[in-house]
């Protein structure tokens, strides 16, 4: 009877649900709709929390489906103005720093659905109506359709489908493949842009400060170019786009790339 309590749930390799998950969802929903984006004041945060919980509670966390998240997707609909959508891949921090300054631009996390889930973990269990705070499955558990990856795929798909006007993407030029076909951006988002609505995709390939490598010429960028050309979306690529570079320069003001040449 003494010692560690026997785990109630199946043990997975990944960390468990974020403590206070339901409370965080509810609190973030109110913070977003009552403080940050008052046009969304009419949203019912209690309903949104319930729809989120219902998406994964009492379900096998490795058999999550898009349909599980459909009610949540519908409750959190929101329009991003044309020309104001910003995607990112392996560049989360810089992209979000940018939209913090450029309040007219939106990443998925600057919309209600992305905002409430950002940085959280969650899963349930087919045999119980409890939240699993002990562990949650990851891809390493042979669990591709886990609660969190299906959520991000579903949310990202909707975000891309709803984009209009020129869209932008921040890519990481300091990794071997700045465009990764298997990333959410490469696997889901570019394929769900509507070419009738999105004339152009502008890629900003950003290197870490101190990394001299060239990147619009990276072979992975050619893959992106050809996917878009097949979809009739114009493509532009620029390395170290000045507004983003200036954000990086806040940390390294003395670097030569940070002064006006």
Q: Catalytic site residues?
A: 82, 164
What is the smallest separation between the CB atom of 114 and ligand N1C, expressed in angstroms? Answer: 5
What is the smallest separation between the CB atom of 195 and ligand N1C, expressed in angstroms? Answer: 18
Measured CA distances, 124 to 15, 23, 25, 49, 115 (Å)? 13, 16, 16, 15, 21
What is the smallest separation between the CB atom of 183 and ligand N1C, expressed in angstroms? Answer: 3
DSSP 85: B
> What is the 3 state secondary structure string of 180-198?
CCCCHHHHHHHHHCCCCCC
Residue with tokens 């030029």: 173
User: CB-wise, 132 or 168, nearer to ligand N1C?
Assistant: 168
Binding site for ligand N1C (CB under 6 A): 87-90, 92, 107-109, 114, 118, 148, 152, 156, 159, 183-185, 189
* 135: β partners: 15
* 234: β partners: 200
Phi, psi angles (nearest 5°) of residue 245:
-60, -40
User: CB-wise, 53 or 160, nearer to ligand N1C?
Assistant: 160
User: CB-wise, 8 or 191, nearer to ligand N1C?
Assistant: 191
What is the smallest separation between the CB atom of 108 and ligand N1C, expressed in angstroms? Answer: 4
User: CB-wise, 94 or 209, nearer to ligand N1C?
Assistant: 94
Comparing CA positions, the residue from 112, 102, 135 lying closest to residue 7 is 135
Angle of helix 45-56 relative to helix 147-161, nearest 10 degrees, comes to 130
């Amino acid at each position: 009877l003494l010692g560690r309590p026997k785990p109630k749930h199946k043990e997975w390799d990944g960390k468990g649900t974020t403590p206070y998950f339901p409370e965080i969802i509810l609190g973030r929903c109110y913070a977003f709709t009552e403080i940050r984006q008052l046009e969304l004041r009419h949203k019912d945060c209690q309903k949104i929390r319930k729809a989120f919980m219902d998406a994964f509670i009492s379900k096998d966390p490795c058999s999550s489906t898009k349909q599980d998240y459909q009610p949540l997707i519908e409750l959190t609909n929101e329009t991003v103005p044309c020309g104001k959508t910003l995607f990112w891949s392996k560049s989360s921090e810089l992209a979000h720093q940018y939209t913090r300054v450029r309040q007219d631009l939106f990443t998925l996390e600057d919309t209600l659905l992305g905002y409430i889930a950002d940085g959280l973990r969650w899963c349930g269990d087919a045999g119980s109506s409890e939240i699993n705070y002990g562990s949650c499955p990851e891809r390493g558990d042979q669990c591709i359709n886990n609660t969190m990856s299906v959520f991000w795929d579903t949310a990202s798909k909707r975000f891309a489908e709803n984009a209009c006007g020129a869209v932008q993407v921040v890519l990481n030029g300091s990794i071997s493949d700045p465009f990764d076909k298997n990333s959410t951006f490469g696997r889901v988002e570019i394929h769900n842009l509507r070419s009738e609505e999105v004339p152009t995709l502008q890629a900003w390939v950003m290197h870490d400060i101190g990394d001299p490598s060239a990147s619009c010429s990276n072979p992975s960028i050619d893959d992106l170019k050809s996917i878009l050309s097949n979809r009739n979306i114009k493509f532009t690529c620029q390395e170290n786009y000045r507004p983003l570079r200036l954000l990086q320069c806040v940390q390294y003001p003395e670097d030569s790339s940070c002064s006006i040449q």
